[in-house]
């Protein structure tokens, strides 16, 4: 059995394209922190906790060494939103040698969705994509920030990207195997 999946590719080509979202109310005590130590256990936790209900499965078979190699690449950053000290979601950025920064993954753990954290985290993460070369001297200045989202992602993903100033530059439609949603861990 298969499912038709539409994938949209979006980009920003200048820092001025970013349209920041309003932050959550101060009483929510939301802060965003870069995960400064590449830690496969933590990154895998974020990946499965955020993506478990929206069919993020491509990294599930990765070994510890594969996670470590990926996270250790220059220009790869994970920014984590915390609400009152609890991880609420993350944005993962990855620079290439041509000055492009991809938003590889972005999302919130289900318990934190609908609380005005997502737009704030995306805005903050995009600003970090535009100034990424300041933290990574081996990376060229950012010329473009891009992301892809698909019809399997959350219902507000595309709208959030467009509201932050992304423009659509490509669309694909493919048949994919209908994979059951694994939840945050196998058997959940």
pTM: 0.93
Number of Cβ atoms within 10 Å of the Cβ of 122: 27
Q: What is the pLDDT of residues 113-154, one digit of tens each?
A: 999 999 999 999 999 999 999 999 999 999 999 999 999 888
pLDDT at 187 over 60: no
Q: Which two tokens stand for residue 36?
A: 């400064």
> Please, what are the domains in the chain?
2-177 (3.40.630.30)
Are 92 and 145 in contact by the 8 Å Cβ rule? The answer is no
| E-strand stretches of 44-160 | 76-83, 86-95, 100-108, 144-150
Q: What is the pLDDT of residues 8-64, one digit of tens each?
A: 999 999 999 999 999 999 999 999 999 999 999 999 999 999 998 888 888 989 999
pLDDT at 54: 83
């Amino acid at each position: 059995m298969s499912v038709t999946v539409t994938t949209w590719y979006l980009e920003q080509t200048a820092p001025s394209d970013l349209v920041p979202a309003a932050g959550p109310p101060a009483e929510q005590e939301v802060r965003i922190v870069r995960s400064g130590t590449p830690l496969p256990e933590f990154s895998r936790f974020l990946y499965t906790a955020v993506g478990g209900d929206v069919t993020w499965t491509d990294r599930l078979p990765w070994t510890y060494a594969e996670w470590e190699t990926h996270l250790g690449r220059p220009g790869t950053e994970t920014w984590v939103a915390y609400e009152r000290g609890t991880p609420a979601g993350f944005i993962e950025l990855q620079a290439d040698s041509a000055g492009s920064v991809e938003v590889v993954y972005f999302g919130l753990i289900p318990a934190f969705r609908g609380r005005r954290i997502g737009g704030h985290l995306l805005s903050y993460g995009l600003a970090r994509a535009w100034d990424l070369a300041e933290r990574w001297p081996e990376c060229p200045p950012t010329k473009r920030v891009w992301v892809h989202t698909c019809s399997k992602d959350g219902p507000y993903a595309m709208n959030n990207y467009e509201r932050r100033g992304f423009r659509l530059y490509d669309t694909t439609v493919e048949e994919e195997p209908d994979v059951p949603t694994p939840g945050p861990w196998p058997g959940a």
